[in-house]
Amino acid sequence: MPLIECIPNFSEGRRQPVIDAIVAAIASAPVDVLDASSDTDHNRSVVTFVGEPEAVAEAAYRGIQTAAEHIDLTEHTGVHPRVGAADVVPFVPLRESSLAECAALARTLGQRVGESLGLPVFLYEEAALVPGRTDLAHIRRGGYAGLRERMQQPEWQPDFGPGQLGKAGAVVIGARRLLIAFNAYLDTDDEQVARAIAYKIRASGEGLPLLKAIGVIVGGVAQVSMNLIDFRQTSLHAAMSALHAAAAEHGVHVTRTELIGLIPQAALLDYALASLQLPRTTREQVLETRLGAANGDYRPLVFE
Amino acid sequence: MPLIECIPNFSEGRRQPVIDAIVAAIASAPVDVLDASSDTDHNRSVVTFVGEPEAVAEAAYRGIQTAAEHIDLTEHTGVHPRVGAADVVPFVPLRESSLAECAALARTLGQRVGESLGLPVFLYEEAALVPGRTDLAHIRRGGYAGLRERMQQPEWQPDFGPGQLGKAGAVVIGARRLLIAFNAYLDTDDEQVARAIAYKIRASGEGLPLLKAIGVIVGGVAQVSMNLIDFRQTSLHAAMSALHAAAAEHGVHVTRTELIGLIPQAALLDYALASLQLPRTTREQVLETRLGAANGDYRPLVFE
Residues of chain A contacting B300 with CB distance shorter than 8 Å: 265-266, 289, 292, 298
Please count the CA atoms within 13 angstroms of the CA of B82 that sit on its side-chain side: 29
Q: Which of A265, A292, A295 is facing B287, going by the closest CB pair?
A: A265
Distance from CA of B36 to the nearest CA of A (A): 12
Q: Which of B262, B277, B289 is facing A300, going by the closest CB pair?
A: B289
Digit-coded pLDDT (tens) for B101-132: 999 999 999 999 999 999 999 999 999 999 88
Tell if the CB–CB gap between B300 and A279 is shorter than 8 Å: no
**Distance, CA of A155 to CA of B201 (rounded, Å):** 65
Best of A179, A221, A240, A276 to substitute, by most chain B Cβ atoms within 10 angstroms, is A276
Task: Give the mean model confidence (pLDDT) for residues B10-33.
Answer: 97
**Distance, CA of B304 to CA of B301 (rounded, Å):** 10
Best of B276, B289, B295, B298 to substitute, by most chain A Cβ atoms within 10 angstroms, is B276
Eight-state DSSP code of residue B34: E
Tell if the CB–CB gap between B256 and A264 is shorter than 8 Å: no
Is the pLDDT at B73 greater than 80? The verdict is: yes
Tell if the CB–CB gap between A254 and B277 is shorter than 8 Å: yes
Greatest CA separation found in chain B?
A: 61
Residue A79 confidence (pLDDT) = 64
Residues of chain B contacting A304 with CB distance shorter than 8 Å: 232
Helix (H) or strand (E) holding B180: strand B180-186
Best of B232, B301, B302 to substitute, by most chain A Cβ atoms within 10 angstroms, is B301
**Distance, CA of B252 to CA of B238 (rounded, Å):** 19
Residue B208 confidence (pLDDT) = 98
Digit-coded pLDDT (tens) for A40-67: 888 999 999 999 999 999 999 999 999 9
Candidates A93, A78, A84; CA nearest to A158 is A84
Catalytic residues of B: 80
Digit-coded pLDDT (tens) for B235-280: 999 999 999 999 999 999 999 999 999 999 999 999 999 999 999 9
Residue A85 confidence (pLDDT) = 97
Is the pLDDT at B187 greater than 80? The verdict is: yes
Residue B79 confidence (pLDDT) = 64
Residue A132 confidence (pLDDT) = 81
Residue B178's contacts (CB-CB under 8 Å, 6 or more residues apart) are A287, A303, B5, B92, B94, B231, B264
Domains of chain B: residue spans and CATH: 3-175 (3.30.990.10), 180-286 (3.30.70.670)
Is the pLDDT at B294 greater than 90? The verdict is: yes
Candidates A194, A243, A235; CA nearest to A217 is A194
Q: Which of B254, B263, B286 is facing A287, going by the closest CB pair?
A: B263
**Distance, CA of A262 to CA of B286 (rounded, Å):** 6
Digit-coded pLDDT (tens) for A122-159: 999 999 999 888 888 889 999 999 999 999 999 999 99
Residue A42 confidence (pLDDT) = 81
Residue A41 confidence (pLDDT) = 80
Is the pLDDT at B200 greater than 70? The verdict is: yes
Q: Could you tell me which residues are beta bridge partners of residue A55?
A: none
Is the pLDDT at B80 greater than 80? The verdict is: no
Residue A179 confidence (pLDDT) = 94
Distance from CA of A150 to the nearest CA of B (A): 37
Residue B303 confidence (pLDDT) = 84
Whether the CB-CB separation of A46 and A7 falls below 8 Å is answered with yes
Is the pLDDT at A304 greater than 80? The verdict is: no
Eight-state DSSP code of residue A223: E
Residue of chain A with shortest Cα separation from B304: A232
Is this complex scored with an ipTM above 0.85? yes
Through-space distance between the first and last CA atoms of chain B, rounded to whole angstroms: 34
Digit-coded pLDDT (tens) for A248-268: 999 999 999 999 999 999 999
Residues of chain A contacting B299 with CB distance shorter than 8 Å: 95, 292, 298
Residue A134 confidence (pLDDT) = 87
pLDDT above 90: percentage of residues in chain A:
89
Residue B131 confidence (pLDDT) = 85
**Distance, CA of B178 to CA of A173 (rounded, Å):** 47
**Distance, CA of B270 to CA of B279 (rounded, Å):** 10
Helix (H) or strand (E) holding B112: helix B99-112
Is the pLDDT at B207 greater than 90? The verdict is: yes
Residues of chain B contacting A239 with CB distance shorter than 8 Å: none
Is the pLDDT at B201 greater than 70? The verdict is: yes
Q: Which of B263, B271, B292 is facing A285, going by the closest CB pair?
A: B263
